[in-house]
Amino acid sequence: MTSVAVVGAGGIGTVLAAAFADAGHDVVVCARSTPGPLILERGGTSTKLDVRVLTEPDALSNVDWVLLCTKAHDTPAAAAWLERSCAAGTTVVVCQNGIGHADRIAGLTGPAQVLPALVYIAAERVAPGRVRHHRGARLVVPAGDAAARLAGLVPGLDITAEPDFRTASWRKLLTNVAANAVTALTTRRMDVLGEPEIRELVTALLTEAVAVGRAVGVNLGPADVAATVSFYDQLGPADGTSMLYDRLAGRPTEYELFNGAVTRLGRKHGVPTPANQAVYALLGAGEP
């Protein structure tokens, strides 16, 4: 049995905690508060997670694996959890959006090994302690020993070991740059992406992001714009995004990681990003 600490009890954290618990591991979920038992809805059924929930970092000790599932802008608040859980034999899987995962937690994990992860899981927190898992169970991580060890731990997850993780992280960023921004601004679900004017905006946002990615040296091209739009089209019209859920709940969103990152890097490398700049400004103005 492997000891696992899941830091963050939102949609992704709850789905991953369930996957590790189902595989027979000793799972503790680190949360700000205890809303009662953690419940995961999937396939029309509701399951109570067989995990422990802690609300105080001092109650946590070193573990084999840490899954950091907080929103990226909440990373500093996870510092105490990471300090208590990390040791020389610990691997920290950074299950967050954006790029530069390892840089984001530099100095917070001590001697532990850091494994960045791109999360392809659609999950929605529908009430305190209750998460609805819509689809997906895939994590993309850099190829190597840690990826192989992670894949062997949880048969219920699809672990993809990616040799070019930097480019993969930008492709994941593309999936967030347009859909998250548009759904958060309109407070509508994925059906909004099917409207002609919105589709033009989506294409502009993606095209600019690809140009910025190429400027920083990642292997992107026009085909990635088409592939991302195709990915959106495969989702259901009633699906949402993490930024939509946060906006509806009055929580801060991750707009700095998506359109903010494209805007800042575009300015740095001399790549015009007018669509992303406009969306970034509007999202910022609507933050709580």
Q: At what angle do helices 165-177 and 222-234 cross, to 10 degrees?
A: 60
Active site residue 48: no
- How far is residue 13's CA from residue 141's CA, in Å, rounded to a whole number? 17
| C-alpha dist (Å) from residue 182 to 51, 167, 186 | 36, 23, 6
Contact of 173 with 99, CB cutoff 8 Å: yes
- How far is residue 97's CA from residue 112's CA, in Å, rounded to a whole number? 21
Active-site position among 48, 71, 172, 268: 172
Q: Alpha-carbon dihedral of residues 49, 114, 227, 203, nearest 10 degrees?
A: 100
- Which of these, 40, 38, 18, 248, lies nearest to 154 by C-alpha position? 18
**Please, where are the H alpha helices in 57-144?**
79-85, 101-104
Helix (H) or strand (E) holding 233: helix 222-234
Please identify every residue annotated as catalytic. 172
